[in-house]
């Protein structure tokens, strides 16, 4: 009874707002200034592709412990972060946080990161760090978010196969009602989509289905979820699991699905650039982020899933990994990621994408 | 002390240790070489694998070059888990098609030279420094053949070296641990071996230690061939010592007997003289006592002489001595004493002879022989002393000859007169019977021998034959 009005409302909103949101908004240049500063105070500049709301609790807990540090956080879209880092060699931050593993990895492989090891980094499992330069601090399952209003009694699809069946079933109902991250403008979108292309047997059919139904593109998960709530779309493919999980708690008719054929797992990573002006503060923060307290804050006050299964971390990745181990496919933090950054490969993928979605190139 | 007497055990240990260290050092060195080579080969192979996979996925399609890098190429590279990797795919005009645009010093000429012929891709490895780290590069030249044209594509893949170094270190460490174990085990075995080899020596020492001071029986021990001569030498010296000891024992008991008898005689004669009332009888007895005690003194003197000689033989080294000068000296010493007995001593030496000997002992010997000759001659006779060289069949001999015209010695007595305390029963002269025994000992010490012959018409010829020495005719 309740689902129907929301569904219509969603369609309505979608028509009104249209593709305006789809263009992808740049979230950079919002500097978080904390009122601190005694004269001896030091500075810590963090660039990140992490939602400010998400990481806020960690920042404030850190600042409570280190009141002499003035923390400046600048938020970017993950691809912009990468490009900004390369294009502004004089403005390198002290710490880089991003969920676009491939771009982070490329920067580290190209020698922009400095080595660091401490008891906290040593605790990380080997698959969660590289060369003591790049450190995973949270894991992120990639999910399909579905507005259950769409189902109308039909069972929730559990795999990509079932998603395709659902799309086939609903057919025109889903025209322009499927949301995807824009692989050309978002780092994480490209990363997950290219991983799908390597791994999935359903990739071609998905691409075809997404093209036929004139899918919409979004610059990040949050805007995709907003569109989902508004009824602008019914299905959001490759959404970040943590945000979706949090979102569905407020909006119970939005349900995250961890596809049972495989669920991609992305690492949120951090590294300290060689050009960091405050490496000591950056290391302090990194240690705090990886410490039990930092990881616990990630779990409790944000929807992020901590990377380390340390003591007191019963929720988060251990449970997630323990639940259905076989279906989880963590993107390996290693040289394989270079493939994702290859321009020729990128172009091939874009070509396929463009030819499948002619409605976008207009 | 230990420096003067180096221990065989320690020397053996040092030697084996040295050999072991040299061998193991060499093994460790070659292990290092091998480890580095093995690591280089295995990771070069990975690099090659990755390049070949990339090369396979570059194709020419309608004049366009299509690069579809395979994931497996990077998975291969990722087998070096913490090494950075770089790659570049370069078109015919040396324009980078994909990958890193600034790889250093790509040796296009070399790559052209090893260009693939008939689909066979030849790798070209080189090292370079890129982005602050040493990198192992592998380049190939792949020819893309289209329907009507062909073009050269260059593929370069590089990787940093830490996995190689890690593998080399690991292999090396593995071998080193083995070498150390080998070292310890061989050292232990060798120590055991040395202990085993030296054990007979230890046993020998113990066997000798355990014997009482006077036990001189030959040692009978199972010992290795190399030590048998040592045991034999010990046994031989023991036998000699034993016979010396035997002789000494006999000598002591004989001497005691010889002294005890005249002493008893003396004491009873003195007693008689005390009891004697008749003055002339007592005078006679007393003079007899004096005679006896003189003889006794003579005996003791001779015994002491002999003891002195025995001591000299052991302690005094032989010196070069002129035998002719020595003989003349003795004659000169005795000539007055002989004249009192009415005997003339004549020396007729024709040669000068140098021998290695003990002058005191030799003098004693010559004096005893000449004294005998004088003592057992009648008045108005001559004792001829001469020194000459006899040319024998095989060798020359120096002969000292003393010729007298006295009572002579019968043939069966000749074999006894050298015995200690032996005196001819028909000799009227007082004497102790030690003189010739001493002379014989001295002669033996100088490797000389005695010859006795009868003189004509009467008397004795005593000859001492010395082994051949340098002789100058005078
Ligand atoms: N030239 C000689 N002519 C005859 N008999 C001799 C001659 N030399 C030695 N003898 C005999 O050999 C014996 C042993 O001689 P030896 O010189 O050893 O003893 P000794 O002359 O009796 O005493 P002494 O020790 O005082 O010389 C003598 O007693 C003597 O009978
Ligand atoms: Mg005599």
Q: How far apart are CA B145 and CA B66, in angstroms?
A: 13
> What is the average per-residue pLDDT within A292-300?
87
Tell the residue nearest (CA) to atom 31 of ligand 1: B424
As given in the structure block, the two tokens for residue A143 are: 């999910």
By C-alpha distance, the chain A residue nearest B131 is A111
Model pLDDT, residue B175: 87
Mean pLDDT, rounded, for B124-152:
88
Q: Which residues of A151-170 are buried (b: 16+ CB within 10 A; e: fewer)?
A: beeeeebebbebbbebbeeb
Q: Is residue B157 within 8 angstroms of chain A, CB to CB?
A: no
Is the CB of residue A271 less than 8 Å away from at least one CB of chain B? no
**Cβ atoms of A354 and A215 closer than 8 Å:** no
CATH 3.40.190.10 region(s) of chain A? 6-139+265-331, 142-264+342-361
- Count of A-B CB contacts under 8 Å: 55
**Tokens linked to A148:** 């259950």
Query: How far, in whole angstroms, is CA A172 from its chain's centroid?
Result: 29
> How high is the pLDDT of residue A103?
93
The CATH number of domain A142-264+342-361, selected from 3.40.710.10, 3.40.190.10, 3.40.50.2300, 3.40.1190.20: 3.40.190.10
- A34 pLDDT higher than 70: no
Q: What is the pLDDT of residues B324-333, one digit of tens each?
A: 999 999 999 9
Scan residues 399-458 of B and list those with Cβ closer than 8 Å to A: none
Nearest Cα residue to A341 out of A82, A50, A127, A111: A82
**A176-187 confidence digits (pLDDT tens):** 899 999 999 888
Q: Among residues of chain A, what percentage have pLDDT more than 90?
A: 57
**Rounded distance, CA B424 to CA B414, Å?**
10
- Give the ligand with the smallest distance to the CA of B419: 1
**What's the CA gap between A236 and A197, in Å, rounded?**
18
User: What is the C-alpha separation between A262 and A265, in angstroms, rounded?
Assistant: 9
Sheet holding B471-473, edge to edge: B319-322, B351-357, B471-473
CB neighbours (10 Å) of residue A226? Answer: 18
For residue B66, the CA-to-ligand 2 centroid distance in Å is 133
A357: tokens are: 């979605």
Say if CB B401 and CB B378 are below 8 A apart.
no
Residue bearing the CA closest to ligand 1, atom 19: B433
Nearest residue to A227 via CA among A79, A25, A4, A2 = A25
pLDDT recorded at residue B472 = 62
Q: Taking CB atoms and an 8 Å cutoff, what residues of chain A touch B78? A: 332, 334-336
φ and ψ at B59, to 5 degrees? Answer: -135, 165
Phi, psi of B307, rounded to the nearest 5 degrees: -60, -45
* Contact check, Cβ <8 Å, B81/A126: yes
Banded model confidence at residue B109, pLDDT cuts 50, 70, 90: confident
Q: Give, in degrees to the nearest 5, the angle at Cα A178 between A266 and A83.
A: 45
* Mean predicted confidence (pLDDT) in B231-249: 85
- The alpha-helical segments, DSSP class H, found in chain A are 3-17, 52-65, 78-87, 101-109, 119-123, 160-170, 187-199, 203-212, 221-230, 241-250, 279-290, 292-301, 317-323, 337-341, 343-356
Q: Is the pLDDT of residue A14 over 50?
A: no
Distance in angstroms (rounded) separating the CA atoms of residues A253 and A10 = 12
Least Cα distance to A6 among A328, A176, A234 occurs for A234
- CA A241/CA A256 separation, integer angstroms: 7
- Select from A198, A344, A345, A352 the residue whose CB has the most chain B CBs within 10 Å, as the one to mutate to test that interface: A344
Quote the pLDDT of residue B162.
Answer: 92
Distance in Å, alpha carbon of B48 to nearest chain A alpha carbon = 16
C-alpha B369 – ligand 1 centre gap (Å):
9
pLDDT at B308 over 80: yes
Handedness of CA B249, B254, B259, B260 (dihedral sign): positive
pLDDT band at A3 (very low <50, low <70, confident <90, very high): very low
Mean predicted confidence (pLDDT) in B62-72 = 88
pLDDT of residue A30: 37
pLDDT of residue A243: 87
Which pLDDT value is given to residue A358? 84
State the DSSP H helix or E strand holding residue B385, giving kind and residue range, or none if neither: strand B381-391
Residue A273 in tokens: 């650039």
Element (DSSP H or E) covering residue B352: strand B351-357
* Chain B stretch 27-66, residues whose beta carbon is closer than 8 A to a beta carbon of chain A: 66
Residues of A in contact with B99 (CB under 8 A): 342-343
CB spacing of A342 vs B99 below 8 angstroms? yes
* Chain B residues close to A344, C-beta within 8 Å: 67-69, 89, 97-98
- Cβ A316 vs Cβ A87: under 8 Å: no
pLDDT of residue B10: 86
Instruction: Tell me the CA–centroid distance for residue B304 and ligand 2, in Å.
Output: 16
| Angle at which helices A101-109 and A187-199 cross, to 10° | 100
Calculate how close chain B gets to A67, using CA atoms only, in Å. 36
Model pLDDT, residue B386: 93
Q: What is the rounded CA–CA span in Å between residue A292 and residue B240?
A: 94
Gap from B98 CA to chain A (nearest CA, Å): 6
Q: Which residues of chain B are within 8 Å of residue A345 when distances are taken between CB atoms?
A: 67-69, 98
Shortest alpha-carbon distance between residue A202 and chain B (Å): 18
Helix H or strand E encompassing B79: none
What does B117-133 look like in DSSP terms, one character per residue? BTTBPPPEEEEEEETTE
More confident residue, B428 or A59: A59
CB atoms within 10 A of CB B199: 11
Mean pLDDT of the region A80-106: 94
Distance of CA A86 to the CA centre of its chain: 21
Ligand 2 centre distance from Cα of residue B396 (Å): 29
pLDDT at A306 over 80: no
Hunting for tokens 């992490």 — which residue is that?
A50
* Distance between CA atoms of residues A179 and A229, nearest Å: 12
Output the average pLDDT for chain A.
Answer: 82
* Ligand 1 mean position, distance from CA B403 (Å): 14
User: CATH homologous superfamily for A6-139+265-331?
Assistant: Periplasmic binding protein-like II (3.40.190.10)
> What is the pLDDT, as a whole number, of residue A38?
43
Tell me how close the Cα of A284 comes to any Cα of chain B, in angstroms: 24
Considering only CB atoms, which chain A residues are within 8 Å of B95?
A: none
pLDDT for the residue B260: 84
**B78 to A131: CB separation less than 8 angstroms, yes or no:** no
Predicted confidence at residue B473, as pLDDT, reads: 58
Determine the distance separating the centroid of ligand 1 and the alpha carbon of B324, expressed in angstroms: 24
Pairwise CA distance, residues A132 & B319, whole Å:
90
Is B90 within 8 Å of chain A by CB? no
Closest CA to A144 of A130, A122, A162: A162
Task: Considering every ligand atom shown, identify the ligand nearest to the alpha carbon of residue B402 and give its number.
Answer: 1
- Residue among A194, A203, A335, A349 with most chain B CBs within 10 A, to mutate: A335
Angle B233-B234-B237 (CA atoms, 0-180°, nearest 5)? Answer: 85
Atom of ligand 1 nearest to the CA of B404: 1
Pocket of ligand 1 (CB under 6 A): B 298, 302, 368, 372-373, 375-376, 404, 406-409, 417, 422-424, 427, 431-436, 460
B97 and A111 within 8 Å at the Cβ level: the answer is: no
Which of A173-187, B308-322, B352-366 bottoms out in mean pLDDT, i.e. has the lowest?
Answer: B308-322
Phi, psi of B111 (to 5 degrees): -65, -40
Mean pLDDT value across chain B:
87
Ligand 1 atom 26: residue of nearest CA: B431
Residue A86 sits at the chain B interface (C-beta within 8 Å): no
Tokens of A103: 């771009």
pLDDT confidence band for A299 (50 / 70 / 90)? confident
Q: Which of A259-263, B220-224, B370-374 has the lowest mean pLDDT?
A: B220-224
Q: Tokens at residue B56, please?
A: 């396979």
Rounded Cα distance between B109 and B116, Å, is 13
The verdict on a CB contact (< 8 Å) between B97 and A344 is yes
Work out the minimum CA distance from A24 to partner chain B, whole angstroms.
Answer: 28
A314 pLDDT higher than 70: no
Pair A144, A261: CB distance under 8 Å:
no
Q: Give the residue on A whose Cα is nearest the Cα of B162.
A: A131
Q: Does A274 touch chain B (CB under 8 A)?
A: no
8 A C-beta contact, residue A257 and residue A143: yes
* Nearest-atom index, ligand 1, CA of B298: 26
Judge if the upstream peptide bond of residue A341 is cis by omega within 30 degrees of 0: no
Q: What are phi and psi of B222, to 5 degrees?
A: -75, 110
CA A278 to mean position of chain CA atoms: 27
Interface of A with B in 89-148 (CB under 8 A): 109-111, 126, 130-131
CB contact under 8 A, B84 and A345: no
A11 pLDDT above the threshold of 60: no
Q: How far is the CA of B331 from the centre of ligand 1 (A)?
A: 18
pLDDT at A5: 34
Distances B354 to B391, B398, B402 between C-alpha atoms, Å: 17, 10, 19
Q: What is the pLDDT of residue B349?
A: 82
Q: In chain B, whose CA is at the least distance from the CA of A334?
A: B78
The pLDDT score that the predictor gives to residue A199 is 82
- Confirm if B472 and B351 have CB atoms less than 8 A apart: yes
B127 phi-psi bin (left φ>0, alpha ψ -120 to 50, beta other): beta
| C-alpha to C-alpha distance for A282 and A274, rounded to whole angstroms | 11
Q: Do A110 and B131 touch (CB under 8 A)?
A: yes
| Residue B219 backbone phi and psi in degrees, to 5 | -75, 130
């Amino acid at each position: 009874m309740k689902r129907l009005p929301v569904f219509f409302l969603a369609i309505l909103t979608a028509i009104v707002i249209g593709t305006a949101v789809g263009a992808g908004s740049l979230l950079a240049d919002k500097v978080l200034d904390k009122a601190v500063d005694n004269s001896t105070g030091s500075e810590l500049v963090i660039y990140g592709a992490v939602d400010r709301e998400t990481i806020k609790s960690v920042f404030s807990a850190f600042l409570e412990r280190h009141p002499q540090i003035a923390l400046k956080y600048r938020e970017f879209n993950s691809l912009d972060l990468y490009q900004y880092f390369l294009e502004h060699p004089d403005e390198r931050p002290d710490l880089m946080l991003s969920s676009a593993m491939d771009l982070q990895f490329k920067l580290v492989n190209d020698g922009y990161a400095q080595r660091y090891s401490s008891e906290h980094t040593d605790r990380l499992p080997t698959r969660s760090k590289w060369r003591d330069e790049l450190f995973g601090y949270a894991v992120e399952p990639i999910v399909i978010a579905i507005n259950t209003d769409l189902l109308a009694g039909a069972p929730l699809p559990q795999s990509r196969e079932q998603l395709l069946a659902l799309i086939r079933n609903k057919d025109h109902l889903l025209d322009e009602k499927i949301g995807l991250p824009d692989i050309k403008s978002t780092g994480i979108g490209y990363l997950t989509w290219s991983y799908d292309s390597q791994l999935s047997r359903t990739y071609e059919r998905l691409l075809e289905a997404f093209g036929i139904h004139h899918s919409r593109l979004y610059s990040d998960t949050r805007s995709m979820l907003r569109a989902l709530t508004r009824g602008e779309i019914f299905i959001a493919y490759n959404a970040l699991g943590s945000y979706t999980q949090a979102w569905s708690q407020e909006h119970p008719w939005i349900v995250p699905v961890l596809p049972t054929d495989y669920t991609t797992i992305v690492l949120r990573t951090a590294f300290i650039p060689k050009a960091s002006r405050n490496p000591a503060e950056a290391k302090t923060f990194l240690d705090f982020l990886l410490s039990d307290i930092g990881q616990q804050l990630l779990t409790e006050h944000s929807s992020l899933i901590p990377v380390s299964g340390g003591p007191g971390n019963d929720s988060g990745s251990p449970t997630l990994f323990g639940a259905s181990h076989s279906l989880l496919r963590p993107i390996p933090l290693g040289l394989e990621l270079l493939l994702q950054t290859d321009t020729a490969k990128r172009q091939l993928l874009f070509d396929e994408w463009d030819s499948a979605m002619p409605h976008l190139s207009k | 002390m230990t420096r003067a007497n180096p221990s065989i055990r320690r020397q053996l240990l040092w030697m084996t240790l040295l050999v072991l260290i040299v061998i193991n050092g060499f093994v460790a060195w070659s292990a290092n070489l091998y480890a580095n080579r093995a690591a280089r080969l295995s990771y070069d192979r990975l690099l090659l694998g990755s390049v070949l996979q990339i090369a396979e996925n570059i194709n020419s399609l309608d004049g366009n070059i299509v690069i579809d890098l395979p994931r497996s190429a990077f998975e291969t590279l990722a087998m070096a888990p913490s090494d950075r990797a770089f790659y570049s795919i370069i078109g015919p005009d040396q324009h980078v098609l994909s990958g890193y645009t600034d790889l250093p010093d790509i040796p296009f000429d070399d790559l052209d030279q090893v260009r693939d012929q008939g689909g066979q891709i030849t790798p070209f490895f080189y090292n370079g420094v890129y982005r602050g780290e040493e990198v192992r590069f592998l380049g190939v030249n792949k020819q893309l053949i289209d329907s009507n044209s062909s073009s050269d594509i260059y593929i370069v893949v590089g990787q940093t070296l830490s996995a190689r170094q890690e593998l080399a270190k690991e292999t090396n460490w593995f071998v080193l641990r083995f070498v150390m174990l080998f070292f310890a085990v061989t050292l232990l075995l060798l120590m055991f071996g040395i202990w085993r080899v030296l054990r007979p020596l230890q046993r020998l020492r113990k066997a000798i230690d355990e014997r009482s001071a006077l036990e001189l029986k030959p040692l009978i021990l199972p010992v290795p061939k190399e030590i048998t001569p040592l045991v034999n030498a010990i046994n031989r010296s023991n036998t000699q010592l034993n016979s010396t000891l035997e002789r000494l024992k006999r000598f002591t008991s004989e001497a005691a007997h010889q002294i005890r008898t005249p002493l008893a005689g003396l004491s009873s004669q003195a007693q008689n003289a005390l009891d004697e009332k008749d003055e002339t009888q007592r005078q006679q007895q007393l003079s007899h006592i004096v005679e006896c005690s003189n003889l006794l003194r003579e005996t003791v003197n001779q015994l002491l002489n002999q003891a002195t000689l025995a001591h000299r033989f052991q302690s005094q080294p032989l010196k070069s001595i002129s035998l002719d000068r020595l003989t003349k000296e003795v004659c000169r010493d005795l000539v007055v004493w002989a004249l009192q007995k009415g005997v003339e001593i004549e020396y007729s030496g024709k040669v000068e002879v140098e021998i290695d000997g003990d002058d005191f002992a030799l003098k004693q010997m010559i004096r005893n022989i000449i004294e005998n000759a004088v003592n057992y001659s009648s008045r108005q006779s001559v004792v001829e002393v001469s020194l000459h060289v006899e040319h024998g069949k095989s060798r020359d001999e120096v002969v000292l000859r003393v010729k007298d015209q006295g009572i002579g010695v019968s043939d069966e007595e000749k074999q006894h007169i050298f015995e200690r305390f032996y005196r001819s029963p028909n000799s009227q002269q007082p004497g102790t019977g030690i003189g010739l025994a001493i002379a014989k000992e001295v002669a033996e010490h100088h490797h000389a021998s005695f010859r006795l012959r009868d003189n004509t018409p009467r008397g004795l010829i005593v000859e001492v034959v010395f082994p051949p020495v340098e002789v100058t005719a005078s």
